[in-house]
């Protein structure tokens, strides 16, 4: 078995193990949904067996006594994301579980894009996260190719999670001291790669190619 096959086998095993801990229970109508599902996980080192059907976003941090609920919710969410990553790396899985526009709009298998008037509980939010990933394109799949991007870099993903958690805006050094210095180091390195002296030149990071082109013009 070569290295690629070993990675695929490991990913498949991890997906199966993660999926085995999820029990989806179909229930009646709730909050205007045609169907809703409950997410429960088998006992584990970090699982508190919390019933998310009665917990809402207002019960999470910074709410008083919101630590345990937040911790349990985030662990459940990370498990969902990790299972998705493993499945995306499995060559035998689909790049896309394709459905026509009208199918997704018509609440396919309980999945709906309608905005409820009342807040959803955390259980429904976790199900929505699963559905969002289920019906989306697996851009990290080995068989996905795009003119701009393809594949999934785990270190880059970890960096995105970190920056989202920090929730820092790149205004000034006072607001983002570490990220401002990181930006300077990266720009200096990029200039050196094209032969510019260390202390000469400048640069700016853009959110996309279109914005970058406008900056150049």
Q: What is the pLDDT of residues 90-141, one digit of tens each?
A: 999 999 999 999 998 887 877 888 899 999 999 999 999 999 999 999 999 9
Name the β-bridge partners of 25: 38
**Element of type H or E holding 41:** strand 37-41
Looking at the structure, do residues 148 and 196 belong to the same domain, yes or no? no
CB 39 within 8 A of CB 76: yes
Tokens linked to 15: 């997906």
pLDDT category at 43 given cuts 50, 70, 90 is very low
pLDDT at 110: 78
Question: E strand or H helix at 39, and its extent?
Answer: strand 37-41
In a domain, 106, yes or no: yes
Domain co-membership, 120 together with 34: yes
Phi then psi for 56, rounded to 5 degrees?
-125, 175
Shared domain check, 123 and 56: yes
Query: Any idea which of 38-47, 64-73, 75-84, 193-202 has the lowest mean pLDDT?
Result: 38-47
35/112 Cα distance (integer angstroms): 9
**Does 163 map to a domain?**
no
Does 48 map to a domain?
Answer: yes
Asked if 71 and 52 count as a contact pair (C-beta separation under 8 A), the reply is: no
Instruction: Give the three-class secondary structure for 60.
Output: coil
Kindly indicate the confidence band of residue 157, based on its pLDDT and cuts at 50, 70 and 90: very high
Domain-terminating residue out of 107, 127, 157? 157
Q: What is each CA distance from 95 to 91, 139, 145, 151, in whole angstroms? A: 9, 8, 10, 12
The pLDDT of 13-31, averaged and rounded, is 41
Quote the mean pLDDT of the chain.
82
Q: Are both 92 and 28 inside the same structural domain?
A: yes
Residue 170 scores a pLDDT above 50: yes
Q: What is the pTM of this model?
A: 0.76
Q: What is residue 11's predicted lDDT score, i.e. its pLDDT?
A: 46
- Per-residue pLDDT, averaged over 71-94, amounts to 96
Into how many domains does the chain fold?
Answer: 2
- Among 2-6, 18-22, 203-207, which is the least confidently predicted range? 18-22
Q: Mark which of 113, 134, 157 sits at the end of a domain.
A: 157
Give the residue numbers spanning the domain of 139. Answer: 3-157
- Dihedral angle over CA of 59, 63, 68, 70, nearest 10: 70
How far, CA to CA in Å, does 117 sit from each of 31, 120, 125?
8, 9, 15
Q: Residue 107 has what pLDDT?
A: 75
More confident residue, 49 or 50: 50
**14: which 2 tokens?**
């991890």
Q: Report CA 81 to chain centroid distance, whole Å.
A: 6
75 and 106 fall within a common domain:
yes
Residue 129 maps to a domain:
yes
Q: What is the pLDDT of residues 51-69, one digit of tens each?
A: 999 999 999 999 999 999 9
Residue 16, pLDDT score: 45
Same domain, 152 and 178: no
Instruction: Confirm whether 208 is domain-assigned.
Output: yes
Highest mean predicted confidence (pLDDT) among 20-24, 35-39, 192-196? 192-196
31/127 same-domain check: yes
Q: Is residue 211 a part of any domain in this protein?
A: yes
pLDDT band at 32 (very low <50, low <70, confident <90, very high): very low
């Amino acid at each position: 078995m070569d290295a690629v096959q070993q990675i695929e086998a490991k990913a498949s095993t991890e997906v199966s193990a993660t999926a085995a801990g999820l029990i989806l229970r179909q229930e009646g109508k709730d909050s205007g949904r045609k169907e809703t599902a409950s997410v429960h996980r088998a006992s584990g080192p970090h699982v508190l067996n919390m019933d998310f059907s009665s917990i809402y976003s207002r019960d999470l941090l910074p709410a008083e006594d919101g630590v345990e609920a937040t911790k349990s919710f985030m662990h459940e969410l990370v498990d969902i994301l990790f299972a998705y990553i493993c499945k995306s790396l499995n060559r035998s899985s689909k790049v896309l579980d394709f459905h026509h526009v009208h199918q997704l709009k018509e609440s396919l298998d309980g999945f709906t894009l309608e905005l409820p008037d009342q807040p959803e509980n955390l259980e429904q939010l976790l199900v929505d996260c699963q559905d969002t990933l289920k019906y989306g394109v697996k851009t990290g799949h080995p068989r996905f190719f795009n003119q701009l991007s393809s594949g999934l870099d785990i270190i880059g993903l970890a960096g995105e999670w970190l920056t989202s958690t920090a929730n820092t805006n790149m205004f000034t050094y006072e607001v983002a001291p570490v990220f401002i210095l990181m930006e300077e180091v990266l720009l200096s390195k990029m200039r050196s790669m094209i032969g510019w002296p260390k202390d000469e030149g400048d640069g700016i990071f853009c959110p996309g190619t279109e914005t970058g082109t406008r900056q150049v013009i």
